[in-house]
Structure 1
């Protein structure tokens, strides 16, 4: 007898291209913690594990932030063994909302520089 829970890969639900809505993406990007996750993913050459991120919130709140990003269509999450890997859905967002992600990331970088001051 085979245990299907151990033989079947774990998957997470992601919105399809037609289900991604601008207001959900903007909402996901409006939170500073989620924006920092997106900035880290944008700067990384590969997927990053959830454990990579050191965030100023509890583990359950971190899980919530990743779920908001995934359900909005901003990131794709996959399991590799027991690690949950995260990747930006950059090309899909570019197709739906040209230059939105790059503009938000540039604005976030400019704000960080401005706050750092002279």
Structure 2
């Protein structure tokens, strides 16, 4: 079983910031260039982020009142089962919280674009 989670962000979030966050949190096998980055956690969480060059549509159904052109998309996948002593949801929470401290970007994190889990706006990071 796997779960797909999406982070959609405005132009204030950079690939470098995503890569730095992954590195600081101990992600493995981090690969990056100017337009994309990916990293994997021992918990089974994987993060793949890319600059959005063509489609700037915000796809999350519940945008918490925000509208912005999407500049970065992060595809986050949780593959189970988790190894003993690791938490993919814990790694997701640490990733989002750490990212929110590094950027003033507006972003929405949603489960399959349907249910909003986290969002960051001018009031800071919010949790559903």
What TM-score does the superposition give when structure 2 sets the normalisation length?
0.28
The structure with higher relative contact order (CA 8 Å, sep 6+) is 2
- Which structure's residues are more often strand, by fraction? 2
What TM-score does the superposition give when structure 1 sets the normalisation length?
0.29
